[in-house]
Amino acid sequence: MQTHIQTGMRTYPMNSQPSSPAKRKTRSLTFELVEQLSAEIQKGTLISGQKLPTEAAIMARFGVSRTVVREAISKLQAGGLVATKHGIGTFVLVQTDTPAFRINPSQLSTLHDVVALLELRISVETEAAALAAVRRNEGNLRVMQEAMLAFSSAIEAGRDAIAADFQFHHEVARATQNQHFADMMNSLGAQSIPRTRLETTRTLDADRLAYLRRIHQEHESILNAITAQDAESARAAMRTHLSNSRDRHKKGLSSHH
């Protein structure tokens, strides 16, 4: 994946506040830059296939930091407006009159939004897991195993595991050998992993680590079923995994009322 908007499990000193004025300012500058670049793409000032200016050029033009530029580009990627080719640059994607299905970051700002997205993911990814069990190839299995290893290594080291988490789910979709599933996961992006929106400022305490290890075990159950080409077990394992996440966020939703 490309640069991510959020970085998962950051650990802050006891006396620091994650939502500092500086962070809030960075966030607002990021959204301003996203709006300006989005407007230029929509108006055709930046045309389909055009390479975006370099980070340094955008920093100079808009008077913002490298962090703001990278976060803004991440949001544009999540919105389906640009795509980054590693080592080459970031390019404007073709914009059609009929808007493509996408979920913008602003649509994932509350617990209710996240629960709604998880409901969609349950319906799509449960069936994707069953198809993946029937159709997967050795390459798919290898990528899923690599993603699981990256996820495990990251959580044990207290690092961000979101990219690895998304990679696992994306590869399940690819293993269906049905491009529509992969395209849908692409349109959702790493922002579809709930922790990217709601839990990025939490320290990695014992409860959090136990939760992430449980996710890893759930991924393992999905992978085992897909490896065994057991469609029903794969379907059930994916449903359990995503339903657990939905129910956990529903509890958070009820506790906010």
- % of the chain at pLDDT higher than 70: 79
Burial label for 108, CB within 10 Å (0-12, 13-18, 19+), is buried
DSSP secondary structure string, 169-198? HHHHHHTTT-HHHHHHHHHH-GGGSTHHHH
**Residue whose pair of structure tokens reads 């590693």 in the numeric block:** 86
Q: According to the model, what pLDDT value does residue 20 have?
A: 63
Q: Residue 93: what pLDDT? A: 85
Separation between Cα atoms, residue 91 and residue 48, nearest integer Å? 8
Report the C-alpha gap between 122 and 194 in whole angstroms. 13
249 has pLDDT over 90 = no
pLDDT tens digits along 140-179 = 999 999 999 999 999 988 887 888 999 999 999 999 999 9
Question: pLDDT for 183-227, tens place per residue?
Answer: 888 888 887 887 644 444 455 578 888 889 999 999 999 999 999
pLDDT at 16 over 60: no
CA-wise closest residue to 187 among 83, 68, 34, 85? 83
For residue 57, give both structure tokens: 């050029």
Across 51-73, average pLDDT? 92
Tell me what the mean pLDDT of segment 88-103 comes to.
71
User: In the prediction, which pLDDT does 77 show?
Assistant: 87
- Do the beta carbons of residue 10 and residue 172 sit within 8 Å? no
Phi, then psi, of 110 in degrees rounded to 5:
-130, 165
Alpha-carbon dihedral angle through residues 90, 199, 141, 145, given to the nearest 10 degrees: 110
Mean pLDDT of 47-58: 89
Instruction: Give the domains, in start order, of the chain with CATH numbers.
Output: 21-92 (1.10.10.10), 105-255 (1.20.120.530)
Cβ atoms of residues 82 and 93 within 8 Å: yes
Q: Please tell me whether the overall predicted TM-score, pTM, comes out greater than 0.75 for this model.
A: no
**In this predicted structure, what is the pLDDT of residue 107?**
66
Q: Cα 155 to chain center, whole Å? A: 16
Q: Which of these ranges, 104-108, 121-125, 160-164, has the smallest mean pLDDT? A: 104-108
Q: What is the model's pLDDT at position 122?
A: 97
Structure confidence at residue 99 (pLDDT): 53
- Contact status, residue 166 vs residue 190, Cβ threshold 8 Å: yes
